[in-house]
Structure 1
Amino acid sequence: MLFVALTAPLMGAIADMSGIRKRMMMLYTAVCVTGVALFATLDQGDVLLGFTLAVIANIGFEGALVFYNAYLPDIAPPAKQGFVSGLGFGVGYLGSLVGLGVALPLAFANNFEAIWLAVAGMFAVFSLPTFLILPEGPARMSVRQAAVEGFTGFRRIVGEVLADRQLRRFLLAFFFYIDGVLTVILFAGPFAQTTMGFTATETIILFAVVQVSALVGALGLARPTDVWGPKRVISLSLLLWIAIAAVTFVIHTKAAFFAVAVTAGIGLGAIQAASRSFMAALTPEGKEAEMFGFYAFCGKSSSILGPFVFGTISSLTGGNQRLSIFSLIAFFVIGLLLLQRVEDPRRKAVEAPAP
């Protein structure tokens, strides 16, 4: 996460200037596929090697997402970016269910090596249409020149982001609210098992159902994102997340937590798709990978603060995970308040009177 957060803006700038966005996405995807496939070679006790492969695979996956997200302004007009973003996340969650369906029979058969090979193969195969269909961006300079410009002009790039008031405000709001969202998702499994008493099988079922509800959230609010504007959809989603954290603090039954988790899945799919759509609307033409690099920077670097707060409160309160979840409301409230200072350019364009 830290590596991707620190390098994403720079790699994005180099890709934009040299026109190698697709090749960078292919490179990072290959790194992820290789890292996942090599898990099949691990033996019991290979903790350090397993950790290293996990880091490599995650760098590849998160790095590829930067360039994948940056294609949104290219493949969808502004009036349909909310729908396309939601469709992308929806199909992604469907892929998670397919992956789970492939992995579970192999896990029950204790054929764990085959799981890694199957997942790596699926990732590679389903990535091919993207590599074959999507165009490469125009090159303004050679890769070497772009690398030099990227390294030497990094301060300028940061300055451009900070100088864009709307983009700066959105990224700051995104930093806080996505941290709260990702922290809840990260600790949902441990919370279900340690606090709510879910068995391993029940947790797997919960995970699958949440994937379905996230798919529903991403697709169900795809059209409204274009009609209402992503700002309104994100704001409504954050109110939902505040309610989720508050209700989680007081529930005590598995059925109640199951219902809350399903609701959280809807909020997850909606806020992810709308956030990407909002970022696309704020991104200057020709700087898509560069700006989505900063988007990734804010998303990945924020993932340190939330778990730290969760863990600290849990430690200070003797393992009270309910209070830890409840404390994350602060992230949602801060993000919601900061978001209100951002103008929705797409909504503004829709409401503007015709000449």
Structure 2
Amino acid sequence: MNRKHVTVWAMYDFANSVYPAVITATVFSVYFTSDIVGNTSGLGDLWWGRVLALSMFFVALSSPLLGAIADNAGLRKRMLILYTAICIICVSLFTTLEPGMILWAFGLAVLANIGYEGALVYYNAYLPDIAPLERQGLVSGIGFGVGYAGSAAGLLIAIPLVSRGLFDLTWLSVAMFFALFSLPCFLGLPKDKVGTLPVWKAATDGVVGFKNLVGDVWGHRQLRRFLLAFFLYIDGVNTTIYFAGIFAETTLGFERQELLYLFLVVQIFALAGSFALAKPTDIWGPKRVITITLVLWTTISGAVYFVHTKQVFFLVGVLAGAGLGGVQAASRALMASLIPKGKEAEMFGFYAFCGKSSSVIGPIVFGEISYALAGNQRVAVLSVATFFLLGLLLIQRVRDPKQERDQASP
């Protein structure tokens, strides 16, 4: 395993983590809904839901096709750079926005999110090339941890800017951070392999391969059941992340710098939760850990309906953060235990596809409910609890190989 390749690969995780931390989860999401659109009647929620749904729909639909083109036509690094550049340029253009420029802001936000999410398709595809199978979990974990550090660094840079109302400088700081710390990855990762297929043939093979992969997944009952449950509860997780900051400002009156402190605390507890639940995942099995965290998230989502103070919402955020790290790690572990041997790479690709495609539904549901009820975000939050509850019920139908082995042993 080449340590240089692992280091520069992880640096991209450090670089790109500033985007969700500052743009989709906290500052820009609130700026878009409140300042650009206006959110007194839920119209901002509606438009933000559309931003997320449209961008994730495009990425989910195009990923299998573009991934096959990148791998088989020798374009992976170039596609990674292209999608990253799209995101960075669009974030820089946020400086042109003024209140009321809804369509221009909508277009930029959709393209920025496509750039960010699309780049991840090619970034993740490097993992099998830079680490052997038995070390991929470790390397993935390194990237995960470095990503949390990147989020924290980006938030700390944004806090003094946001507190002074310097939003244009905030967007530029995100773009510069992303661009600067991406460079080691672009310069240090292995060059693209020579393409083995023309682009049109690679695209055709990608479509056929994805169709066959769907058939393979459908043919494994336990895997099918798990991915359906995962599709639902991870949609709840993503929707919570996308709208928590908006809810905190619009309904609870948080100041924008307070949102950054809140998200920073949540990130810390998410990282702590992923470590704290790592051993229980090995001892109890990932299904039990997922069940516990989904019970926690369902309860929290329902309880938020009754929250009226910032202090209580901070506490809720801490609890949710602890569950966030645990459910992500346990879900990956359960997925790994259900995959037939020799199909790890393609099945984890489908796992990522489920996570991205699920994000189309939750944001639309939240936005539509908020708008239909004249901006009542509390009821919209209850819709998120439904995703957790359905996922919790469906995960009970999945057999955990870890639990079955423990029961079979004397």
Classify the TM-score, shorter chain.
Answer: 0.7 to 0.9
Whether 1:272 and 2:328 are equivalent positions in the alignment is: yes
Tell me, in whole angstroms, the C-alpha distance in 2 between the residues paired with 1:15 and 1:163. 28
CA distance 1:151–1:50, change in 2 (3 Å): same
1:176 aligned partner, one-letter code: L
Contact 1:234 1:271 in 2 (8 A): yes
Give 1:98 shift. 0.8
Identity of aligned residues (%): 55
Partner of 2:240: 184
CA distance 1:136–1:103, change in 2 (3 Å): same
2:112 aligned partner, one-letter code: A
Contact 1:89 1:273 in 2 (8 A): no
Whether 1:332 and 2:388 are equivalent positions in the alignment is: yes
CA distance 1:324–1:151, change in 2 (3 Å): closer
Partner of 1:301: 357
1:337 aligned partner, one-letter code: L
Whether 1:248 and 2:343 are equivalent positions in the alignment is: no
Whether 1:33 and 2:114 are equivalent positions in the alignment is: no
- Structure 1, unaligned runs of 5 or more: none
Contact 2:64 2:206 in 1 (8 A): no
Equivalent of residue 65 in structure 1, options 120, 130, 136? 120
Tell me, in whole angstroms, the C-alpha distance in 1 between the residues paired with 2:85 and 2:205. 26
Equivalences for residues 140-155 of structure 1 within 5 A: 141-144=196-199, 145-155=201-211
Partner of 1:10: 65
Give 1:147 shift. 1.9
Give 1:226 shift. 4.8
1:54 aligned partner, one-letter code: A
- Structure 2, unaligned runs of 5 or more: 1-55
Contact 2:274 2:326 in 1 (8 A): yes
Root-mean-square deviation (CA, aligned residues, Å) is 3.6
CA distance 1:242–1:54, change in 2 (3 Å): same
Give 1:317 shift. 5.5
Partner of 1:123: 178
Contact 1:25 1:67 in 2 (8 A): yes
Give 1:237 shift. 1.5
SS at match of 1:250: coil
Partner of 2:155: 100
Q: What do residues 273-293 of structure 1 show as CA deviations (whole Å, max 9, x unaligned)?
A: 3334444553764773x5444
Tell me, in whole angstroms, the C-alpha distance in 1 between the residues paired with 2:191 and 2:403. 30
Contact 2:69 2:203 in 1 (8 A): yes
Q: What do residues 40-76 of structure 1 show as CA deviations (whole Å, max 9, x unaligned)?
A: 4x25466544432322221111112233344556637
Whether 1:166 and 2:248 are equivalent positions in the alignment is: no
Equivalenced residues, count: 350
Tell me, in whole angstroms, the C-alpha distance in 2 between the residues paired with 1:139 and 1:119. 34
Partner of 2:17: none
Normalised by the length of structure 1, the TM-score is 0.80
Deviates more, 1:274-283 or 1:176-185: 274-283
Partner of 2:397: 341
Contact 2:270 2:325 in 1 (8 A): yes
CA distance 1:343–1:29, change in 2 (3 Å): farther
Tell me, in whole angstroms, the C-alpha distance in 2 between the residues paired with 1:248 and 1:122. 34
Q: What do residues 135-160 of structure 1 show as CA deviations (whole Å, max 9, x unaligned)?
A: 57988942533223123554334323
Tell me, in whole angstroms, the C-alpha distance in 2 between the residues paired with 1:267 and 1:257. 15
Normalised by the length of structure 2, the TM-score is 0.71
SS at match of 1:89: helix
CA distance 1:93–1:194, change in 2 (3 Å): same
Give 1:260 shift. 0.6
Give 1:259 shift. 0.3
Equivalent of residue 250 in structure 2, options 179, 182, 194? 194
Q: What do residues 302-340 of structure 1 show as CA deviations (whole Å, max 9, x unaligned)?
A: 223323443454456565433332343321122123223
1:30 aligned partner, one-letter code: A
Q: What do residues 92-112 of structure 1 show as CA deviations (whole Å, max 9, x unaligned)?
A: 232112112222333455554
